[in-house]
Structure formats: structure tokens, C-alpha cells
Chains A and B, each alone.
Chain A
Amino acid sequence: MKDEHFGEDAVVFDPIYKSGKRFYIVLAVLLAIIFLANSMYVRQYLLGLGVTGLNNQAYWGIFMVNFVFWIGISHAGTLISAILRLANAQWRRPVTRMAEVITAIVLMIGGIFPAIHVGRPDRLINLFIYGRYQSPFLWDITAIMTYFTASLTYLFLPMIPDMAMMRDKGTKFKWLYTILAWGYEGTERQKHVLEKAISIMMVLVIPVAVAVHTVIAYLFSMTVLPAWHSTIFGPYFVAGAIFSGTAALIIVMIALRKIYHLESYLKEIHFKHLGTILLIMSLTWAYFTFSEYLTTFYPHEHHEMRVFWYKLTGEYAFYFWGMVVCNLVIPLLFLSFKKDITGVCIASIFVVIGMWLERLNIIIPSLVNPRLPYPTGSYMPSATEILIFVGSFALFCLGYLLYARFFPLITVWEVQEEREHGVEEAKKQMESYLSHPGKA
């Protein structure tokens, strides 16, 4: 159905202008889960970290697993979007906004976890007053703040023309869209300025995103704990982050496609392309994992081997082999033989689970098998930790739900531009590749 202002793209704006009862029901459920998780946190704050499964040896638990996991997911957005834009991948247009929103939301969620993890969050201020940059923890804070600012900017810039479109429609929340449109009227000069700004941010955001996850890897590799002190951790974490990020993006896209009827935008071809990226990342992840474990095994250093066997045949064998099945076997099977939307969706769900298990496998086994002459420790998360973990997923869904309530999930102006000039541009591009003997 065509709309006077949005033309054939009216369906993208439906969640904003036509929200029904379903929105409020989902909102209530999510708020209830978040309230429950928050109550558990308040209880933890009042009673201390004794209510968690953390102990003298396992002083990092699933709070830190979640921290690394969510920050990894954040690579879904800005990095993938920037790479696709930079590579001028024409199919990227309906995908980029969804990816960028994921980054903005999960960076906030991931950033909360270290604060939840410390027993006295009120003392975090000391980090700023008496901080020492020798601590990788402070590197992390700096890197995440930089990435968050860059990602928000990168999300905001391509939203401007869409905000102007909604301002001009002049109904709901006109004041909000007038403010966010920044006076955009679509003149040639404005288009030029906007494109230039997006190009600068696109180039800037890629090294920032890579740096963030490298710095998170340094949090582990700068220590001498067995199986953490590894030079490969930086690129290993970056590859893992892109891997889990792509999987999360695919799941979000499939869910939103179904909920908001975006089938005419998010087509099977988009999932095929993303499925290919996922398959490549699965193999890259497997390569890094193999390298990491082989270089641990070959020198046979006593403490390293203790962690090695603890993961492969000991208490964590189920999680380790579960991770291998989720991250390599299932994606390989589905993405090689069944690369339709269902296949890509199943592979992505397993990858997200597998990458969470990977973070768990990195953090806990090294802590419970330290270099010090202690017997092997143990860690079992408490209900408090599990509920806060569930709450973080609800917070993610809430963030997305609220975003979709106020802003379009697809970069409409880019899609319109593609519709007008896409075929012509693709033809020109194709012609420039064609070989004509005798012509340069």
C-alpha cells in the first residue's frame, strides 16, 4: 500500500504509526523480567558477592563471560555495516541500520557487567580518580567509551534523512524528528556533506571496533594465567566477535522480518550473503582455535596442560565439545548444504550459544586451575547470576522494541536511492569489469 509521504516504504514505518496491543504486552513482559533481574542485583548489592557462585579461585564468573559475550556481539553492527559500506556491497542497504542498532544497545548492556561484577560499584569512581593506565581494565573502559561514541555517531548520521522524512509527514512525535533531522532538507549540498561525514566515520569505526575487542583480549593475555597468556588472543577475539556478531545480526533480522513484515526488504539473498560470511567466520574461528590449542599442547607445559585436559576431557569437556559442535559442525553442515533462511537461522542460533560457551571455556577453566599449588577449584553460577544474565537478554529485546517504536529499522533513504539508481550503477560497475580485448 502506498503512503503519501513514504510511498511504497510505508510498511517500514508501521511499527511507529500503527502499534497495537501486542507492543504493550511484550513491553510488560520484558519490563517484568528486567525488574526481576534488577531485584536480584539489589539483593546482591545489599548482601554482597556471597550470593553469587564466585569464590576465591573463580573470582570471575558468568558476569565476565557475559561482558565479553555482549561486547563481542556489538561487532555485529558498526563493524559489519562499515565493512559492507566500504566494500560498496549493494545488498547491504536494508541490513546496515539493524546492525548498527545492535551495537548501540549491546555496548550499553556489556558495559554494565563489570560494574555488576564488582561488589562495591560505588567505589568504581576510584578508577577515575586514582586510575593507572598500566591496568588493562582501564584500557577496556577507554576503548569501550570510544567505540560507544563512534557507534552512536555512526548510527545517527544515516538516520538524519529518515528523520527529515518523518518530520515532513508531521504527525506523531514531530518535535522529536524535527530535532533529530538537524534541518536536513535534501539539498545537494546537504547530501554531499552527509555522505562525506558518513565516509569519514565508516573508515574511523573499523580500526576502533578491532581495537576494542583486541583490548578485551588483552584483559586475559596480559596476565600469566595458564591458557590466557597467549599472543594469538587479540585476533582470536576479534574473529570470534565478528562471528558471534554476524550470527546475532541474522537472528535479529529474521525475527524483525517476521514481526514487522519486512519480507520485501530482507530477502533470501541477504541471508545467503550473511550465511556465507558466517561460514567463512566459522572456519576462521576453527583455525584460530586449532592454532591456540595446538601451541598449548605441543610444548606440554605442566600448568597449561592441566587447563588443556580440564577442557578437553575433564569437567568442562561437555562445554568444550558443545562449543565445537555449535561453532563448527552445525554451521558447516547447515551453511554448506542448506543455505536458506531456516538453515541460516538454525546455524546462527547455535553459533550464538557456541560463542557464549567459548567465553565460558576461556574464563572459568583457567581460573579454577591456577599456577599456584592449589587443588582444582569449581564454579557453579547461582540463581542471582543466571537471572541477571536472562535480564540482559530482556534488556536487549527492550532496547530493540523501543527503537522500533520510534525509528525506522531500515535505512529508507538508502533503499529509495538504490531503487532509483541501483540498477544503473550495477550496470556501470559490471561494464567496468568486462574484458574487451584490444581496449584498456
Chain B
Amino acid sequence: MKKEHEEKIIFFFQLLPLIGVWSMTLGMTGFVIYLINLSLQQADVPMAGIGISLVVVPVFWTIAGTFTYLFVGLRRGRKKEEDR
């Protein structure tokens, strides 16, 4: 019971970097969209924001995707209980 509880706590902390990366990704995506929207509202020029979003958003999503792939891949690739 105690071991299970410990494992849950460790899993929670292991999730934190993943949550951090996704927060950054969603935060940056939201920020870029917000600034494009702001420039449209104020009849400003949205092209700079759109140009930057074309670079930044895919980079962040690739980082987050790679991180998630690794996290899931490492968990699935663990030794089976009987092999330990």
C-alpha cells in the first residue's frame, strides 16, 4: 500500500516537467494568437505576428510532442513485473 502511494507521488513529480513544457507551448501559442488578435482589433499590421507564429508555434509543438513521446515511450518500454 505504502509502495503504491510512493509510486503515485513519484509519478506526479515525473509529470511536472511534461506539464511545464505543455504550459509553455500552450502559453506561447495563446500569446502569439492574442497579439495577432490585438493587432487586428486595433487595425494594426498583423503580418509580423503571423510570420513569427509560423516559426514559433510548430517549434513549441514539436518540443512538446517529442517530450510526450518520450514520456509515454519510456513508461511503455519498462520491464514487465515478472522480469524485474
Contact = CB atoms under 8 A, between A and B. Distances in A.
Interface string A138-150: 1100100110011
A190 interface: yes
Given A133-B49, A193-B69, A178 B10 contact: yes
Contact of A183 (B14, B21, B39): B14
Contacts of A211: 55
Given A146-B60, A179-B10, A193-B77, A133 B39 contact: yes
Interface stretch (A36-44, A45-53, A196-204, A367-375): A196-204
Nearest to A145: B28
A149 B76 CA distance: 25
Contacts of B67: 153, 197
B28 A197 contact: no
B74 interface: yes
A179 B18 CA distance: 12
Nearest to B57: A146
A163 to B, nearest CB: 11
A194 B52 contact: no
B3 interface: no
Interface residues of A, number: 38
A179 B77 CA distance: 17
B73 A190 contact: yes
A149 B10 CA distance: 23
Contact of B24 (A131, A145, A197): A145
Interface in B1-38: 10, 13-14, 17, 21, 24, 28, 31-32, 35-36, 38
Given A134-B48, A182-B71, A189 B59 contact: no
A146 B45 contact: no
Contacts of B74: 160, 182-184, 190, 193-194
Contacts of B69: 193, 196-197
Interface string B55-70: 1100110110011011
A142 B77 contact: no
Contact of A201 (B32, B51, B63): B63
A256 interface: no
B28 A183 contact: no
Interface in A57-105: none
A132 interface: yes
Nearest to A153: B63
A187 interface: yes
Chain B CB within 10 A, most for which of A128, A153, A208, A211: A153
Contacts of B55: 211
Q: Pick the 7 closest A-B CB pairs, nearest first.
A: A193-B73, A189-B77, A190-B77, A133-B48, A133-B49, A197-B70, A179-B13
Interface of A: 128, 130-134, 138-139, 142, 145-146, 149-150, 153, 156-157, 160, 175, 178-179, 182-185, 187-190, 192-194, 196-197, 200-201, 204, 208, 211
